[in-house]
Amino acid sequence: SQKFHPALEPLKWLVGKWKSIKAEGQFPTIKPFTYIEELEFESVGQPLLNYQSRTWHPVTKNPMHFESGFLRIDPGTSNVAFMVSHNFGLVSLEEGNVIGNTLNLKSKSINRMIFAKEPAVTEITRSYVFCPDSKRISVVVSMATSNTELHEHLIVEYEKV
């Protein structure tokens, strides 16, 4: 895009549309699974990126998890905040930083609808790493719940669409 706020420079490698090459899910309490994902970090000229992620089942193509939100950067710093709403009734505010080709985030607050499914998510961490050679991004999302300690939930590799 031509519109690019200078404050976004540290996040430049993340901007655009990405599609999963390999997306695996796991957690101690569930059966491992795979999925397909398309996500976008869109720049429209503001010092933030508009975020959207859509996933679907690799065989049935049924929609699965959806997220949308905003990734903001504190201009002139490496500090970022990611506000995400999840289709299963959860909102998370995650904070962290972007250092070189790595973006790390950890939830600061999580809230859920009263009728959201148990168990409650109590913590989320995400790590996005860009590999300049392959031009791919690797992402690991971990979570803790009211039943289970922090553990990897998603391990994904994306290429630019």
Contact set with ligand HEM (CB under 6 A): 25, 27, 29-30, 33, 35, 55, 64-65, 119, 121, 124, 141, 143, 145, 147-148, 153-154
Closer to ligand HEM at the Cβ: 8 or 139?
A: 139
Closer to ligand HEM at the Cβ: 14 or 143?
A: 143
CB of 24 to ligand HEM, least distance (A): 10
Rounded to whole angstroms, how far apart are CA atoms 157 and 23?
A: 6
CB of 107 to ligand HEM, least distance (A): 9
Closer to ligand HEM at the Cβ: 10 or 69?
A: 69
Rounded to whole angstroms, how far apart are CA atoms 133 and 4?
A: 24
CB of 79 to ligand HEM, least distance (A): 21
CB of 115 to ligand HEM, least distance (A): 14
**Contacting residues for 124 by C-beta, under 8 A, at least 6 apart:** 92, 94, 105, 106, 107, 110, 141, 142, 143
| DSSP reduced 3-state for 13 | helix
Residue 10 vs residues 23, 50, 81, 148: alpha-carbon distances, Å: 26, 16, 14, 34
| DSSP reduced 3-state for 115 | coil
Closer to ligand HEM at the Cβ: 48 or 156?
A: 156
